[in-house]
Chain A
């Protein structure tokens, strides 16, 4: 059972921002935002044809500035948010905005793929997610599984909850939460929890992780010193509401039960440099993807703290005798947490990794030199999880 070779796509520019097109559930599609100070930045729409192992790309222009973060609307395929740097008068300002892709980008690419590279269409600005008081957006989070009407932006030490109205052309701040404390506090990253009716948010600043209740905009828990160094990224377990993964500059990936913030449930130290991104698989939460500036991407199988710690449970009735025995043998196998695979296709720091929203066994990773690599979960593991 040989695994398919990874598929590599090279961007012309350096890039950090990567997201799956969340609302798209049929096609395997990723969005990449580039970073260039001199030229117009682009958003590459990467379509992966799973059957033929071919990548189709479409490029949209993002002229506002270099993209640091990108987020796709969970409701509307065409809507996305970016956080970007704008330079004007030797000043660098971080902004956030909601954009819409031109309606015909897809058709255009099919007719003349070469043209699209030379004459890319431009993103249509829907609204800015800035007000005068709060700038320097670090990231914008869509309400998970929502109707695409609510986003949170993290700017300096504020978390702003926006309501998008009029087909997202108007954004108003409905509530804010402010991080208070000594020194210049700044949110570095955050994640909107899909549990509890989407009423919780987790943020990272410096070495701490904080949980917020969005109804009251107040802090509900705080993991001080979650990591020895800066916390770089967070992700919620999609199936276990209290479980949270975090990663940071201490090279570690930690798994937390937010009901007990004293000790992590589990701690991994597989990377040899800062870990920039951690992502749970959307359906099989034992699969955890981590990307690091040691140029590696690691897929771990965290069975012991997943929602299926004893493997896939099969009803006894469904089984005939023979299968029953087989099942027993399998359940005796110790299910251990392990590193499934280390991917070394990148040659520069990998800042982002994402699971596809359409195919749960497929993921993409993006390194700074603009290399996007699409990989699959090894078949052996896939069948072990499924069968």
Chain B
């Protein structure tokens, strides 16, 4: 109670607490409710302490309280009065009843005494008969037992007849001890001998049955169990047991072997079960039998611990043969179409082997099984890689064909590129998805450390994805090298396309693929892996090489036209130029179409700012007057140094031009490269020829025409000016009668053409 009050925080309760505290031992004589109340003291105290008014109040209060107490008391008395009356009645009634009960109880005890007496008398009379009955029943059981013994040979015989070996052995076991104990009695001895004879026969039969071996594993183990109970030597049994088991398991294995096509070259679709069926059969027949053998062996020969090694050797031997069959079968799985079948088969294979682990904890079998799975997986990854590679090559062949077919091909370059790159990416994704099955959560072997770590990083990432990317780069580079000499075997458009592909790989695809792989396989980089940057660098290098090669090939095609046109003409005896030669128009046309082609895949790129008059009129940059001055100077014998001076001064201000140099990944740079190669060839060819007057003029016309159209393609138009300048200059040097054509005439001819 106290505790409760303390807990409640209200002030009212506090008052009560005080009261409760004081109540039990209120020694205060002034406490009007206390037991030690002294009216005198109280009055004195009041009189001393209170004023008159207070006394008056106290008095009225007291009177009031007294009055109320009186009325309360009256009420209580009145209420309790009735109860007292009824209580008195009840007590009186009870008194009468008890008296009656006492009489009845006396009567009862008298009766009980009489009953006790009778019962004692009856049991006394029956005691003798009871003892007799007990004795008789004992004799009966003994007789029953004796009867069992006497009937035992017959029973055993019957059991033997019915082949109820288990029952016979059980019966014999029950009787054996007794017979042994009483064997000194001739009658029992007879029975025992009979039994022995029968049991020997039985054992014989069992052994026979055991030897026959045709029965199932369960029968066999039962047989062995019985024989063991008949105290047959365990070692011998154990050997026999194993050899029987072996013969049966071997038949299973032969069944499996028959499933593997003996001659894989001969297609025989009917006998060709799929790998899942094969593994299923192997599991159901061989592995389950093996497990059964192990279990029964362990149960039967539990006491012969040293036999464990024998069993291990036995299991290892058979398992090895089984594994070799499985491996042969797995190797036949060449098609990469459906990986899930293989994975499921491997999973089942692996899962069933776990049973062996449980039964034989120390066995190497499950590890070997895991190794087989690992080998199968790595083999698979290799197959996927080669499938990817051949897919890539096939795609390239398709692209090649698409490029070779009709006119619309160049326009579809970007589409070809996107479809090529998309189909490769899809193929990679589908391969990754297939390979991913190996690490799916519900596959038992996926939690092996190999599949968690090495398989993901080395197997999938390195051997599959990285190898494929490297293959792409390498095969691209091969296009540059093998086709490099003749130039014709790879269509230039393909080079351009591949270059763009490699560049795209460098910028995004590689990192995308690798991120995808890492995410899907949660690759943890325990072992060093090829970093993205290395692959990107490789791809960029390949792209660069391809593009350079493209420039070279296209440049050579145009060069070839120019060279033929210069070499085959008799420039000394040519007629006065009336037209731009057709070959120049062809060069411009080809250059334009190359420009379009490159523009489909590459960005424009930067060019140097054009001079304000960079139009057809720019030809005035190398005006004929200056040109004349130049050759005039070179033919002045008195000033031999001028030849060099003029051209050298010119060269001082222009950088050395590298003809077959590396280009940048943009259209202008590519076009500059091609035009440089073409014009340089033109120059070198011109220098090997001798020109007549009209020959020189024809070259002038041609160069002007080229000038009109080529400047727009290159990054620095001065380059074209300079090189064309060189060509005209060189042909003037090689001219027998250098009389240049009027600039205005040249322009007219060119505009007409």
Q: Which residues of A contact B (CB under 8 A)?
A: 10, 12-14, 37-39, 85, 87, 90-92, 225, 227-229, 250-251, 272-274, 293-295, 344, 347-349, 368-371
Contacts and interface: CB of A to CB of B under 8 A. Distances in A.
Given A37-B734, A90-B573, A349-B684, A225 B485 contact: yes
Contacts, number: 68
A274 B684 contact: yes
B484 A228 contact: yes
B487 interface: yes
A87 B641 CA distance: 26
A37 B690 CA distance: 9
Contact of A273 (B486, B651, B659): B659
Contacts of B643: 12, 369-370
A294 B656 CA distance: 9
A39 B659 CA distance: 33
A229 B563 CA distance: 12
B658 A294 contact: yes
A14 B637 CA distance: 13
B660 A273 contact: yes
A293 B736 CA distance: 24
A272 B659 contact: yes
A256 B18 CA distance: 125
A263 to B, nearest CB: 11
Contacts of B484: 228, 250
Given A37-B734, A227-B485, A228-B484, A272 B661 contact: yes
Given A87-B736, A91-B572, A273-B680, A251 B635 contact: no
A12 B635 CA distance: 10
B564 to A, nearest CB: 12
Q: Chain A interface secondary structure, helix, strand, loop or mixed?
A: loop
A12 B692 contact: no
A272 B658 contact: yes
A253 B701 CA distance: 36
Contacts of A228: 484-487, 556
A344 to B, nearest CB: 8
B463 to A, nearest CB: 31
Given A273-B659, A293-B680, 12 more contacts: A12-B643, A87-B572, A90-B573, A91-B573, A92-B572, A225-B486, A227-B485, A250-B485, A272-B659, A272-B661, A368-B687, A369-B643
Interface in B653-697: 656, 658-661, 680, 684, 687, 690, 692
A369 B730 CA distance: 10
Nearest to B659: A273
Contact of A10 (B487, B572, B641, B659): B641
B648 interface: yes
Contacts of B635: 38
Contacts of A293: 659, 680, 684
Contact of A90 (B644, B658, B684, B736): B736
Interface string B400-435: 000000000000000000000000000000000000
Nearest to B684: A293
Question: Which 4 pairs show the lowest CB-CB distances between chains A and B?
Answer: A12-B640, A228-B485, A273-B659, A272-B658
Nearest to B560: A229
**Size class of B's contact patch?**
20 to 34
Contacts of B556: 228-229
B623 interface: no
A87 B690 contact: yes
B660 A370 contact: no
Interface in B479-493: 484-487
Contacts of B684: 274, 293, 349
Nearest to B677: A273
A266 to B, nearest CB: 15
A296 to B, nearest CB: 9
B733 interface: yes
Contacts of B692: 90
B98 to A, nearest CB: 133
A277 B155 CA distance: 117
B647 interface: yes
Nearest to A293: B684
A87 B735 CA distance: 11
A120 to B, nearest CB: 13
22 contacts: A10-B644, A37-B736, A38-B635, A87-B572, A90-B573, A90-B692, A90-B736, A92-B572, A228-B556, A250-B484, A250-B485, A272-B661, A274-B684, A293-B684, A294-B658, A347-B648, A348-B647, A349-B687, A368-B687, A369-B647, A370-B644, A371-B644
Contacts of A229: 556
A25 to B, nearest CB: 32
A90 B735 CA distance: 11
A14 B659 CA distance: 22
B669 to A, nearest CB: 15
Contacts of B641: 10, 12
Contacts of A370: 643-644
A225 B734 CA distance: 31
Nearest to A250: B485
A87 B570 CA distance: 13
Contacts of B661: 272
Nearest to B571: A92
Contacts of B637: 12, 39
Contacts of B485: 225, 227-228, 250
A208 to B, nearest CB: 12
B423 to A, nearest CB: 33
Given A85-B690, A229-B556, A90 B572 contact: yes
A371 B647 CA distance: 13
Contacts of A349: 684, 687
Nearest to A37: B736
Nearest to A349: B684
Contacts of B487: 228
Nearest to B568: A184
Given A85-B690, A273-B680, A295 B573 contact: no
A272 B573 CA distance: 34
A349 B573 CA distance: 28
A90 B691 CA distance: 10
Nearest to A296: B656
A176 B661 CA distance: 43
